[in-house]
């Protein structure tokens, strides 16, 4: 079995928007050894021979929507079609493992939304079949900009119509390899101001007010996958009451 990592590395990147920056503090073996001596009150001569201390690390700052993550229905709204929305710890694990399908949208230009016609055309070309429980991965190729200032500014985005259709096929989890699932945020702001309309904002996210689903953002390596014939595992951290959680997303072939 071959396992392909579809997750970003959790690390500090100064090019990330300030509210998304991750900070991890690393503690060396030597630093830890001194603290262990102090905490245990144990003379160094009584430590096991060759003991250098334990390396330790602390995530000082990391939002649940930073790095590769999965959004829970609670992120989109407090209710889904009148019912309480699930937080990330309430997501059924059955949603998080299943057959994978890649939709190739690398031909879509920045700021051009992904339509239902785009999805259907790609499925017809690849021969992939979407069934209830399929995990759908939208391949845009924008993960090439990770680590640059351009990353949040580049990309296409899922339309409401395409998102509705995937959910209607029984898809509970879908994901994309760019900063966000919708069109880039600054572009949406610009268009809303220019045209005085709210239609540009979070089309796919707001589908979650009507239909229950989760989406992943900031995936990587989707270009290493075939269109179908593999499994996907996307188990999030079990954070009580959270709207999302980091996940180690992998494909298994």
Q: HEC string of 47-106?
A: CCCCCCCCCEEEEEECCCCCCCEEECHHHHCCEECCEECCCHHHCCHHHHEEEEEEEECC
Tell me what the mean pLDDT of segment 209-237 comes to. Answer: 98
- Indicate if 40 and 99 belong to the same structural domain: no
Are the beta carbons of 30 and 53 closer than 8 angstroms? Answer: yes
The pLDDT value given to residue 55: 85
Average pLDDT, the chain: 93
- Indicate if 207 and 151 belong to the same structural domain: yes
Confidence of residue 241 (pLDDT cuts 50, 70, 90): very high
pLDDT at 97 over 70: yes
The pLDDT value given to residue 38: 64
- Indicate if 244 and 130 belong to the same structural domain: yes
Answer yes or no: is 9 within a domain: no
Confidence of residue 48 (pLDDT cuts 50, 70, 90): confident
- Indicate if 70 and 54 belong to the same structural domain: no
Answer yes or no: is 160 within a domain: yes
- Indicate if 33 and 132 belong to the same structural domain: no
Give the model confidence (pLDDT) of 196-213 as tens digits: 776 667 889 999 999 999
The pLDDT value given to residue 200: 66
- Indicate if 48 and 148 belong to the same structural domain: no
Q: Give the pair of three-digit tokens for residue 131.
A: 């069934």
Answer yes or no: is 16 within a domain: no
Answer yes or no: is 132 within a domain: yes
Answer yes or no: is 38 within a domain: yes
- Residue whose structure tokens are 């949040």: 152
pLDDT at 23 over 70: yes
In this structure, of 61-65, 106-110, 118-122, 197-201, the range with the lowest mean pLDDT score is 197-201
pLDDT at 84 over 70: yes
Of 7, 222, 8, residue with least CA distance to 122? 222
Q: Is 196 helix (H, G, I), strand (E, B) or coil?
A: coil
> In what helix (H) or strand (E) does residue 177 lie, and over which residues does it extend?
none
Q: Which of 11, 31, 61 is the last residue of a domain?
A: 61
- Whole-number Å distance between alpha carbons of 68 and 7: 5
Give the model confidence (pLDDT) of 181-198 as tens digits: 999 988 888 888 888 776
Return the DSSP state at 148.
Answer: S
- Indicate if 85 and 144 belong to the same structural domain: yes
CATH, residue 91:
3.50.30.50
Contacts for 196 with CB less than 8 Å, ≥ 6 apart: none
Beta-strand (E) ranges in the chain? Answer: 3-5, 23-27, 56-61, 69-71, 79-80, 83-84, 97-104, 113-114, 135-139, 157-158, 173-176, 214-217, 228-233, 244-246, 250-252
Answer yes or no: is 158 within a domain: yes
- Indicate if 97 and 171 belong to the same structural domain: yes
- Indicate if 189 and 122 belong to the same structural domain: yes
Are the beta carbons of 4 and 142 closer than 8 angstroms? Answer: no
pLDDT at 37 over 70: no
The proportion of the chain whose per-residue pLDDT surpasses 90, expressed as a percent, equals: 78
Range of the domain at 204: 64-252
Higher pLDDT, 90 or 45: 90
Tell me what the mean pLDDT of segment 137-144 comes to. Answer: 98
The pLDDT value given to residue 130: 98
The CA-CA-CA angle for residues 163, 165, 167, to 5°, reads: 70
Confidence of residue 33 (pLDDT cuts 50, 70, 90): confident
Q: Give the pair of three-digit tokens for residue 192.
A: 């809303």
- Indicate if 128 and 246 belong to the same structural domain: yes
- Indicate if 202 and 96 belong to the same structural domain: yes
Answer yes or no: is 131 within a domain: yes
| Count: domains in the chain | 2
- Indicate if 84 and 162 belong to the same structural domain: yes
Give the model confidence (pLDDT) of 158-169 as tens digits: 999 999 999 999
pLDDT at 230 over 90: yes
Confidence of residue 6 (pLDDT cuts 50, 70, 90): very high
Answer yes or no: is 18 within a domain: no
């Amino acid at each position: 079995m071959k396992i392909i990592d579809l997750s970003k590395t959790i690390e500090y990147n100064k090019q990330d928007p300030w509210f998304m920056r991750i900070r991890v503090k690393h503690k060396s073996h030597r630093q830890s050894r001194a603290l262990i001596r102090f905490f245990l009150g144990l003379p160094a001569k009584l430590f096991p021979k060759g003991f250098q201390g334990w390396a330790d690390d602390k995530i000082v700052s990391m939002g649940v929507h930073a790095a590769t993550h999965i959004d829970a229905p609670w992120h989109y709204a407090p209710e889904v079609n009148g019912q309480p929305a699930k937080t990330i710890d309430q997501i059924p694990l059955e949603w998080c493992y299943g057959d994978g399908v890649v939709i190739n949208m690398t031909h879509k230009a920045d700021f051009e939304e992904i339509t239902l016609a785009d999805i259907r055309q790609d499925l017809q070309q690849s021969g992939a079949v979407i069934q209830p429980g399929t995990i759908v991965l939208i391949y845009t190729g924008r993960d090439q900009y990770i680590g640059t200032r351009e990353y949040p500014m580049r990309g296409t985005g899922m339309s409401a119509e395409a998102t509705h259709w995937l959910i209607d096929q029984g898809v509970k989890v879908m994901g994309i390899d760019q900063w966000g699932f919708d069109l880039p945020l600054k572009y949406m702001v610009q268009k809303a101001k220019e045209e005085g309309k709210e239609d540009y904002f979070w089309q796919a996210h707001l589908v979650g007010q009507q239909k229950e689903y989760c989406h992943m953002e900031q995936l990587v390596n989707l270009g290493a996958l075939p269109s179908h014939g593999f499994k996907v595992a996307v188990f999030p951290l079990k954070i009580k009451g959270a709207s999302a959680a980091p996940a180690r997303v992998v494909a298994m072939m």
